[in-house]
């Protein structure tokens, strides 16, 4: 653990000094102009954040510290006999910068195993909720219950020196990531498996142990979890879960409070909840058409019906991406390798052929291509995980890797309280008439 922390500190010291210098030399340089429409329309295209862990290209998709998903599938360490990357490796890449070795990855697996203890009151808090409570709500409440363990919060109350914020944040981030699989698996087994819980297996990697605690021993499912936890981990800084974690963290709320905020955002249907919406939509289509494998013509008609009811086609479109999401492609490759004959997976591929031309024909959809959520559910169903309400929790466990690595950077670089300027339409009208000015505080 000490070694990871030391390397993180050394790396952030270097980058911190570079930022200081470049702001001194170029701090007043303009990087863009803001149009009125952008202010009203979700701040799309406004560059206003720094997030070191990953960068999204509209056409090429996500790159983690410069590496694409296909590159990482080759270069990151795997489990013995496995072919999918271990998410521990991606975390180290995001946190420190370079590609980790197998030994470094194994060391992190052991660190997280040692720190994975979840206190009983967290389970008691989950048990106090009605069983029907959505798994994401249970997840967020459990994270809040875990906040009693925050070292940042305790040390801050005791008078923490500013220069030590990063270290308490780092420790909380490590503890929280280590504990999340146990919490998530507990919610799953409680809600869907009669409360028959499964103890952790200390011989498994982080994602493999998560699969085990969920109750899936199939090596294929473990491989899927390793891939799933890797590809959902981060999508640069402006998406709702990353931005919410960063924003709340900027108030010096501890990592538990900040991450819970991010997870509340992930629970929205335009963000992480879309993965449950996709499979629900496909199940409903199959039910209505009374077939396991609808034809492309039938899918086309069903998509048109969905649109005519004023609904979005879940799993399609993106605020930034303008091509097929490489995270979709990675899952498609996994499907081709492990389950090419599965009718649900084939339906996902048929939907992929049917939807883009229809969305393009609407003329307003900026990206008619599938995103990560269009595929994930079908792979999970293949291994028997049919409880789609739970899928966003899997996404959340994975997302912890990116947003908490970023939060460590935020504290190490001493990023200040985030506080953009907002305006009123009344002010806009006066500004347009030349009666008032709009400027930042
Ligand atoms: C992801 C998403 C929220 C991005 O929103 P956005 O940046 O505002 O997207 P656009 O600029 O392309 O939206 C322009 C119009 O196209 C519509 N549109 C975008 N994606 C659509 C989809 N999959 N199905 C139907 N209509 C869609 C929007 O609703 C909007 O319509 P409006 O002007 O009538 O309000 C949007 O594509 C969406 O709702 N997708 C489905 C949900 C989903 O898969 N979410 C997971 C994202 S990873």
Global confidence as pTM: 0.96
What per-residue confidence (pLDDT) applies to 331? Answer: 98
Helices (H), 116-197: 120-127, 135-146, 151-157, 165-192
Residue nearest to atom 32 of ligand 1 (CA): 364
Which residues are CB-contacts of 165 (< 8 A; sequence separation ≥ 6)?
152, 156, 252, 411, 414
Separation between Cα atoms, residue 40 and residue 35, nearest integer Å: 9
What per-residue confidence (pLDDT) applies to 440? Answer: 57
Ligand 1 within 6 A of 374 CB?
A: no
What per-residue confidence (pLDDT) applies to 265? Answer: 98
What per-residue confidence (pLDDT) applies to 337? Answer: 97
**Could you tell me the distance, in angstroms and rounded to a whole number, from the CA of residue 339 to the centre of ligand 1?**
30
What per-residue confidence (pLDDT) applies to 2? Answer: 85
Q: Are 286 and 294 in contact (CB under 8 A)?
A: yes
Which residues are CB-contacts of 366 (< 8 A; sequence separation ≥ 6)?
317, 322
Ligand 1 within 6 A of 371 CB?
A: yes
Separation between Cα atoms, residue 207 and residue 87, nearest integer Å: 7
* Catalytic residue list: 271, 318, 373
Ligand 1 within 6 A of 303 CB?
A: no
**Could you tell me the distance, in angstroms and rounded to a whole number, from the CA of residue 425 to the centre of ligand 1?**
25
Percentage of the chain modeled with pLDDT above 70 = 99
**Could you tell me the distance, in angstroms and rounded to a whole number, from the CA of residue 440 to the centre of ligand 1?**
30
Ligand 1 within 6 A of 311 CB?
A: no
Residue nearest to atom 44 of ligand 1 (CA): 315
- Taking alpha carbons only, the member of 215, 222, 134, 148 closest to residue 179 is 148
Ligand 1 within 6 A of 320 CB?
A: no
What per-residue confidence (pLDDT) applies to 441? Answer: 45
What per-residue confidence (pLDDT) applies to 312? Answer: 95
Separation between Cα atoms, residue 374 and residue 136, nearest integer Å: 19
What is the best residue among 306, 310, 312 to mutate for testing ligand 1's pocket, by most ligand atoms within 8 Å of CB?
A: 312
What per-residue confidence (pLDDT) applies to 1? Answer: 62
**Could you tell me the distance, in angstroms and rounded to a whole number, from the CA of residue 308 to the centre of ligand 1?**
15
Q: Which residues of the chain have pLDDT under 50?
A: 441
């Amino acid at each position: 653990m000490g070694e990871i922390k030391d390397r993180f500190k050394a790396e952030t010291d270097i980058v911190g000094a570079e930022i200081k210098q470049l702001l001194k030399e170029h701090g007043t340089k303009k990087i863009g102009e803001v149009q009125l429409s952008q202010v009203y329309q979700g701040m799309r295209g406004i560059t206003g954040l720094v997030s070191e862990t990953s960068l999204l290209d509209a056409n090429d998709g996500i790159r983690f510290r410069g590496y694409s998903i296909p590159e990482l599938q080759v270069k990151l360490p795997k489990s013995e006999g496995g072919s999918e990357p271990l998410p521990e490796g991606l975390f180290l890449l995001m946190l420190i910068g370079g590609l980790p070795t197998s030994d470094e990855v194994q060391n992190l697996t052991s660190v997280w195993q040692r720190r994975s203890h979840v206190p009983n009151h967290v389970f008691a808090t989950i048990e106090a909720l009605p069983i029907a409570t959505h798994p994401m709500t249970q997840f967020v409440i459990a994270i809040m219950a875990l906040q009693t363990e925050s070292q940042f919060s305790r040390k801050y109350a005791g008078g923490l020196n500013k220069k030590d914020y990063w270290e308490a944040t780092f420790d909380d981030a490590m503890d929280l990531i280590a504990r999340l699989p146990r919490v998530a698996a507990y919610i799953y087994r409680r809600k869907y498996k009669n409360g028959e819980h499964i103890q952790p297996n200390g011989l498994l990697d982080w994602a493999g142990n998560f699969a085990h605690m969920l109750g899936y021993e199939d090596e294929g499912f473990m491989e899927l979890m390793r891939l799933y936890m890797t590809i959902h981990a981060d999508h640069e800084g402006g998406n709702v879960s990353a931005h919410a974690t960063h924003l709340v963290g900027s108030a010096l709320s501890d990592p538990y409070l900040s991450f819970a905020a991010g997870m509340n955002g992930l629970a929205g249907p335009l963000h992480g909840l879309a993965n449950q919406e996709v499979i629900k939509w496909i199940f409903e289509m199959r039910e209505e058409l009374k077939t396991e494998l609808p034809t492309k013509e039938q899918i086309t008609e069903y998509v048109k019906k969905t649109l005519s009811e004023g609904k979005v086609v879940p799993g399609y479109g993106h605020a930034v991406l303008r091509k097929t999401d490489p995270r979709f492609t990675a899952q498609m490759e996994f499907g081709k390798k492990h389950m090419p004959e599965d009718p649900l997976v084939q339906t996902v591929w048929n939907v992929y052929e049917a939807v883009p031309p229809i969305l393009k024909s609407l003329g307003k959809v900026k990206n008619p291509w599938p995103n990560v959520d269009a595929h994930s559910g079908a792979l999970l169903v293949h291994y028997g995980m049919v409880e789609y309400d739970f899928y966003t929790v899997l996404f959340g466990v994975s997302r912890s890797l990116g947003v908490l690595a970023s939060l460590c950077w935020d504290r190490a670089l001493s990023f200040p309280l985030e506080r953009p300027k907002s305006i009123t339409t009344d002010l806009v009208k006066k500004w347009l008439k030349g009666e008032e000015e709009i400027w930042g505080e």
